[in-house]
Copies of this chain bind each other. A is one copy, B any other.
């Protein structure tokens, strides 16, 4: 039954009925927040054994005989560098292990380019009208960092296998004012898309007009699968070897969604040339990051295999939640032809494309009934979704039961907004 084919009379009846159902849900006085991709208490509990990993009786001396308790070891303890290196299949001496926030590492990279310049180029604050490419829909905190430093955010459409690489190449290879691009190559935020090998290879083969152009490869979800036998995408570092373009990539990871969102360990992988400058610059702002927490993670996991085993426990918690969202969308909205959505094999989000012009109204209706979603438009630079269509659904935090209620409300709000748009009241 396509709504658009209904008579005004039928639509008016549906509107009345849907409004009544919405008001009934309002009366339930839900109080739920799905605005951010937060792990649930159930997921956090998976890591509680890590709290017992290091005790007063344990040695806190690294394999290089450095004391985790004291100052120094700026780039991270050798054990932690090896662990991240193993997870990313890169050399340990191309990994810098830091504090609890990969966002902060991204910020650091941009700050260094802005205040001091990279690759021997002028600092960005002395160059004019700079641009940063933003595949859309994308991650609002990424956009905010580039915007903070005055870079113009240029939206680039996402396709089913990654950003539109013709557009990316056109910008990057012809315009020296284009300095970077945000990428979430695996289970992209929010679309859930994993970049195809072809897209990864095209990134690696870019010949930027600007020597200080960098790809910000935020591999936040590289091990966050919810299916068995997930796609194993081409590694950007391997692709770059082929094109001798290693200096173009900053690859970020963290355990924020592996151990604790607030108390994990973040790392950045970059070429030796990039890392030499990055380390020198970071040495101005700190003597070193929390090495005890690095050691705690290393001892808890043992090795990369230990991390992957742990991720299976997350998958067991998350899969049913993704299933609820998808099945509710299938049941409630598919028959009415209302919008489209992704069915990700991992990550933290489901991306819903509402009928054009409905996203803001849907988010507002949800909010008025007690459910906070990511603001409509947040997945676009400057909060501007030209179609007012994309809504990021973050299913990880609520319980399965709460998610049922939320999705019932969500689907109802979609219907209501769509009918409102069609009916001539």
Report B-chain residues with C-beta under 8 Å of the C-beta of A108.
285
Q: Given A49-B56, A285-B107, is A68 in contact with B145 using a C-beta cutoff of 8 Å? A: no
Interface status of A231 (Cβ within 8 A of chain B): no
B56 touching A52 by the CB < 8 A rule? yes
Task: Give the distance in Å from the alpha carbon of A73 to the alpha carbon of B260 in the complex.
Answer: 14
B51 touching A58 by the CB < 8 A rule? yes
A101 touching B38 by the CB < 8 A rule? no
Interface status of A6 (Cβ within 8 A of chain B): no
Number of interface residues of A (CB under 8 A): 54
Q: Select A292's contact among B38, B68, B260, B289, beta carbons within 8 Å.
A: B260
B70 touching A145 by the CB < 8 A rule? no
Report B-chain residues with C-beta under 8 Å of the C-beta of A309.
none
Interface status of A72 (Cβ within 8 A of chain B): yes
A70 touching B44 by the CB < 8 A rule? yes
A274-300 CB mask vs B (1 if < 8 Å, else 0) is 000000000011111111110000000
Interface status of A115 (Cβ within 8 A of chain B): yes
Interface status of A383 (Cβ within 8 A of chain B): no
Copy number in this complex?
2
Report B-chain residues with C-beta under 8 Å of the C-beta of A41.
67
Q: Given A103-B285, A284-B107, is A39 in contact with B290 using a C-beta cutoff of 8 Å? A: no
Residue in A73, A107, A148, A287 whose Cβ sees the most chain B Cβ within 10 Å: A287
Report B-chain residues with C-beta under 8 Å of the C-beta of A67.
41, 44, 262
Q: Given A67-B41, A67-B44, is A263 in contact with B115 using a C-beta cutoff of 8 Å? A: no
Q: How far is the CB of A47 from chain B (nearest CB, A)?
A: 7
Task: Give the distance in Å from the alpha carbon of A54 to the alpha carbon of B39 in the complex.
Answer: 21
Task: Give the distance in Å from the alpha carbon of A295 to the alpha carbon of B141 in the complex.
Answer: 26
Residue in A48, A149, A292 whose Cβ sees the most chain B Cβ within 10 Å: A292
A115 touching B111 by the CB < 8 A rule? yes
Interface status of A125 (Cβ within 8 A of chain B): yes
Task: Give the distance in Å from the alpha carbon of A116 to the alpha carbon of B149 in the complex.
Answer: 8
B71 touching A262 by the CB < 8 A rule? yes
Residue in A99, A125, A145 whose Cβ sees the most chain B Cβ within 10 Å: A99
Q: How far is the CB of A95 from chain B (nearest CB, A)?
A: 18
B263 touching A38 by the CB < 8 A rule? no
Q: Select A70's contact among B38, B55, B289, beta carbons within 8 Å.
A: B38
Report B-chain residues with C-beta under 8 Å of the C-beta of A291.
262-263
Task: Give the distance in Å from the alpha carbon of A261 to the alpha carbon of B70 in the complex.
Answer: 5
A33-49 CB mask vs B (1 if < 8 Å, else 0) is 00010110100100111
Q: Select A56's contact among B48, B99, B107, beta carbons within 8 Å.
A: B48
Interface status of A28 (Cβ within 8 A of chain B): no
Report B-chain residues with C-beta under 8 Å of the C-beta of A38.
70-71
Q: Given A52-B55, A58-B51, A99-B100, is A39 in contact with B287 using a C-beta cutoff of 8 Å? A: no
A89-104 CB mask vs B (1 if < 8 Å, else 0) is 0000000000111011
Report B-chain residues with C-beta under 8 Å of the C-beta of A99.
99-100, 289-290
Which parts of A83-136 form the interface with B (CB within 8 Å)? 99-101, 103-104, 107-108, 111, 114-116, 125
Q: Given A58-B51, A103-B285, A284-B107, is A263 in contact with B69 using a C-beta cutoff of 8 Å? A: yes
B125 touching A293 by the CB < 8 A rule? no
Interface status of A333 (Cβ within 8 A of chain B): no
Residues of A within 8 A of B (CB): 36, 38-39, 41, 44, 47-52, 54-56, 58, 67-73, 99-101, 103-104, 107-108, 111, 114-116, 125, 141, 144-145, 148-149, 256, 260-263, 284-293
Q: Can you list 13 residue pairs at the A/B interface with Cβ under 8 Å?
A: A41-B67, A52-B56, A73-B262, A99-B290, A100-B289, A101-B288, A101-B289, A111-B111, A115-B125, A115-B149, A116-B148, A144-B284, A262-B291
